[in-house]
Structure 1
Amino acid sequence: MTTADLHRMTGAYALDALPDEERATFEHHLAACEPCTQETAELSATAARLGLAVAVTPPAGMREQVLHRITAVRQQSPGPLATARPTRTGLRARQLSRWALAACLAAAAALGGTAVWQHQRAEDALRQARAAERQTDEIAAVLAAPDARAQATTLDGGATGTVVVSRSQDRAVFVVAGMEHPPGGKVYELWFDDGGTMRPAGLMDPARADQAVLLRGAVDGASGMGVTLEPAGGSARPTSEPIARLGFPA
């Protein structure tokens, strides 16, 4: 199996559609491939958001229509973060979102058509997808910026975290994989480190172990970032010692 083949397995992995042997091979590759890690996290999140389904009988011909749709939207291999162009990245993110939607429907149809969207749930899911797409475009612009630089660390429990900073965008993204769920009533909060003073930079999704989060606000000269465990809703100032602290790459 070639590296190019592995790059194209992100969608199947996100939908849990790989045989055990291929899944193990891809997970080994995933540990050393940041673009695939990011793409897999985005596809998994999109598939979950669009997975609002109920058991009904699908319309006649739906399976054929969905399978035809999949052939019309081709998945692209993830490229190097520093060389991708933001304009193409936004298009690619939208292609991936449509691919995940088509793949979810195809999986349902292939299993006998036992899980498809009711009209209202589909509309709700699409609205959420559009909002997520805007967020994805902003994240992608940082990751694809020519001056994007990354700094990685290992968190408690074996999770891995990487902060990607673009000075030209004046933004930062925190990408984490394998994060333990916070205790009940708690949430992970992100912070900019302004020379020892912590500035709130948004909350992580407590339900997701893998995610990419755009830090809220401008980098604005911050020297690094931190992650703390805070009460649900977040805090204006850290109430606990950081569980992770990363300096921004030069």
Structure 2
Amino acid sequence: MSDVHALSGAYALDAVTDIERQQFERHLAGCDICSEEVASLREAAAELSALTAEEPPSELRGSVLSALSEVRQLPPLVRPRTAPARRSPLRLLVAAAAAVVVVGVGVGVARPWQDDAGSGQTVSVADRVMRAGDAQRITLEFEGGAKATVVRSPSIGRAVLVTRDMPPPPKGHSYVVWLQQGDAMVNAGAMAQSPDQTVLLSGDAATASAAGVTVESNPDVDKPTEAPIALFEF
């Protein structure tokens, strides 16, 4: 590396190679500026992570390290001892990563690494439903050992379908999940082609009396064309 000072952030995150580590540690022994930078970064991460009440997702570290390649790490500024410490771009990244770890303290479960729309929302809301104090669980077993569980939280108003060892539907067909609203079955989404999955159902589960699964050639069908292969009564 042309400027060994720029390794301070990556070194603090343990994101350097063995050669870079040896090179930087030799430099660190004689550079008070880099020593202060590394100590400050590690202290910020330690203080924030000490507040955590929830484990971060396993992919978080990888995503943060991947982001390092997109953030240009500036070398420490040579400054008088009395000057205020500079906050480098990587310092902000480390603080943000540590802040992600502490999310979850307080009311509810907030996860800013997940988008509020699309698949991020599915994971976040599904997790809230599974953890809800009023969660209701109904499990059905199928021939061959497959299992399907519907978890509903009236307070959140959503339901989740969890499958294990679910066989694939016939070729050209999909499993479609429904919510029973009065006398009508409302399409709550199609399942992916996977034996083990967690599906957040669309629609208001708080007012539903049951959930069902049918086999359909058109996953967007407005009403079931076949009798349910599974019916979960709330």
Scaled by the length of structure 1, what TM-score is found? 0.49
Q: 1:170 maps to which residue?
A: 157
Offset from partner CA, 1:154-199 (integer Å, 9 cap, x none): 1343211111111111111111111111222111000012345311
Q: 2:140 maps to which residue?
A: 153
The CA distance in 2 between the partners of 1:234 and 1:198, in whole Å, is 13
The Cα shift of 1:65 comes to 2.6
Matched, 1:100 2:37: no
Contact 1:154 1:160 in 2 (8 A): yes
The CA distance in 1 between the partners of 2:152 and 2:182, in whole Å, is 17
Secondary structure in 2 matching 1:157: coil
Identity %: 35
Matched, 1:231 2:190: no
Give the aligned residue type for 2:178. W
The Cα shift of 1:147 comes to 1.0
Instruction: Tell me how large the CA RMSD over aligned residues is.
Output: 3.7
The CA distance in 2 between the partners of 1:92 and 1:167, in whole Å, is 24
- Aligned residue among 216, 225, 236 for 2:202: 216
Distance 1:151 1:238, change over 3 A: same
Distance 1:162 1:66, change over 3 A: farther
Matched, 1:198 2:148: no
Give the aligned residue type for 1:224. A
**Structure with the larger helix share:** 1
Which stretches in structure 2 are left out of the alignment for 5+ residues?
Answer: 1-10, 18-44, 46-51, 70-113
Distance 1:133 1:183, change over 3 A: same
Report how many aligned residue pairs link the two structures.
Answer: 147
- Aligned residue among 226, 231, 234 for 1:240: 226
Distance 1:92 1:236, change over 3 A: farther
The CA distance in 2 between the partners of 1:141 and 1:66, in whole Å, is 37
Scaled by the length of structure 2, what TM-score is found? 0.52
Which stretches in structure 1 are left out of the alignment for 5+ residues?
Answer: 1-60, 73-87, 105-115, 120-128
Query: Larger RCO: Structure 1 or Structure 2 (Cα < 8 Å, ≥ 6 residues apart)?
Result: 1
Contact 1:66 1:102 in 2 (8 A): no
Distance 1:134 1:219, change over 3 A: closer
